[in-house]
Structure 1
């Protein structure tokens, strides 16, 4: 099993229970990722 499979299984588990999956984001602010 690849890490991507584990991540997808984890996210699917919570999504099926009513949680919202949001895109990944860096923990440290970087000018590249700023909202426009």
Structure 2
């Protein structure tokens, strides 16, 4: 299983956060992104 640091290093932030959120059991998260990068 990949570690969070490996996921962040290998994936664009907009996709890495989805995978990390799925692995995190603290409920759903809402993120805004442009299809590649997360937006503030």
Shorter-chain TM-score above 0.5: no
Return the TM-score normalized by structure 1. Answer: 0.29
Return the TM-score normalized by structure 2. Answer: 0.27
- Greater relative contact order: 1 or 2 (C-alpha under 8 angstroms, separation 6 or more)? 2
